[in-house]
Amino acid sequence: MASKSHLSFAERAVNHPSPLTRRLFEIAEQKSTNIVLSADLTSTAELLKIADDLGPYIAVLKTHIDIIDDFSRKTTDGLVELSKKHNFLIFEDRKFIDIGNTVQKQYRGGALRIHEWAHIVNAAVLPGPGVIQALEETIKTHNVTDRGVLILAEMTSKGSLAVGSYTEASVAIAKQYPSTVMGFVCTKALSGLSSDATDEEDFVVFTTGVNMASKGDALGQQYQTPTTAMAGGSDFLIAGRGIYANNDPVKAAEAYRKAGWDAYQDRIGKKAE
Ligand code: 5BU
C-alpha cells in the first residue's frame, strides 16, 4: 500500500477519490485537529454534553450506540445536530462481522438505523469480502456520498489475533472496494503489506488505544501516546478515557489535539505553532 503520510491532509484532499475522506481531511485542516473522541458514555445526556463541550477540538466523534441506556431518536438526532454545529463526522464503532444479509439489516434497520446518522462504520473481514460488499450495496442503494467504512485490520487488546496474514487480507479486501473503504483501524501504518501498491491509493489510518497518561487497563487494553502513534504512521488518533474520564475533559481534549497536531506537522515537515 502506497503511503501518503508525508503529505499534508490538504494535499491528500485535492485528488482523493472519496468525497467523505476529502471532507475528513478538510475538517482536520480547518479545525487543526486529528482527534477522534471515543465518547463511550452510557446516557444520552452525557453523550450529547461531551459532544457539545468537546466538539470544537475533534474531527470525528466515535460512538458505541448500543451502550446507551436510554437510546431513542433523540440520541442520534442530537448527535447529527451537534456534528453540524461543530463540524465533525460521526463514526459508529459497530464492528460489523457477519454474513452480508445480516449485516445489511443491522446497518439499515433495527432500532438503531445506523446508516441514517453515522458517516463512518467499521467492519471486520473475518466473514470474507461479503461483509464489505453488503455495506457498499446499502450505501449505493441510498445514493449517498457521505458514508464510508473502515476495516478493522488490527486490534489493541492483548493477544489480538488480527495480525499477520489476517491484517494482509484486510488490506487486500480494502483494495477491492476503494469507493467504500476509507481506510483502517490499526495500530500503525500498514505499508509494505502489499506488493502491488499503487500511487492512486490513499487509505486513512485511524489508531485506537491512545492515551497520554496510562499504558493500559485491567482488561487487556494497550495504549500508545499521540506522538508514538503518529510516528508509526497514524493519521487520526482515537482516544476515549484519556479525555472524557479526565477531571477536566476540555483541557484534556485540547492537550490531545495539540499533541496530535504537533506530531502531524512534524511529520509533514511544518514547524509546529
Ligand atoms: P479508551 O477509553 O481510549 O481505551 O477507548 C478505546 C475505544 O476504542 C473503545 O471504544 C474501544 O471499543 C475502541 N477500540 C479499541 O480500544 N481497540 C481496538 O482495537 C478497537 C476499538 Br478496533
Q: Is residue 215 predicted with pLDDT exceeding 70?
A: yes
Amino acid identity at 255? A
Q: What is the pLDDT of residue 199?
A: 54
- Alpha-helix residue ranges (DSSP H) falling in the chain: 9-14, 19-31, 44-54, 73-86, 100-108, 114-117, 130-141, 164-176, 226-231, 241-244, 249-267
Residue 207 placed within a domain: yes
Q: Can you tell me which atom of ligand 1 is nearest the CA of 187?
A: 19
CATH number of the domain to which 181 belongs: 3.20.20.70
Q: Is the pLDDT of residue 2 over 70?
A: no
Provide the sign of the torsion angle of the four alpha carbons 240, 242, 245, 247, taken in this order.
Answer: negative
Q: Would you say residue 248 lies in a domain?
A: yes
Range 245-262 average pLDDT: 98
Q: Is 86 part of any domain?
A: yes
- The grid coordinates of residue 97 equal 462481522
Q: What is the DSSP letter of 93?
A: E
Domain presence at residue 205: yes
Q: Which domain holds residue 15?
A: 9-267
Across 64-68, 150-154, 187-191, 233-237, least confident range: 187-191
Does residue 142 lie within any of the structural domains? yes
- Rounded to the nearest angstrom, the distance between the alpha carbon of 198 and the centre of ligand 1 is 30
Furthest C-alpha separation in the chain: 49
pLDDT value of residue 143? 79
Question: Does the annotation list 40 as a binding residue?
Answer: yes
In-domain check, residue 185 = yes
What average pLDDT does the segment 139-159 reach? 93
Binding residue per annotation — 62?
Answer: yes
Q: Residue 241: CB within 6 Å of ligand 1?
A: yes
In a domain, 67, yes or no: yes
pLDDT exceeds 70 at position 198: no
| pLDDT > 90? residue 197 | no
Mean pLDDT over residues 144-166, rounded? 94
pLDDT at residue 191 above 80? Answer: no
pLDDT value of position 156: 93
pTM for the predicted model, two decimal places: 0.95
The answer to the question of residue 2 being in a domain is no
Report how far ligand 1's centroid is from the alpha carbon of 175 (Å): 25
Could you tell which of 40, 208, 217, 224 is best to mutate to test the pocket of ligand 1, judged by most ligand atoms within 8 Å of the CB?
A: 208
How many structural domains comprise the chain?
1
| Catalytic residue IDs | 93, 95, 98
The predicted structure's pLDDT at residue 144:
84
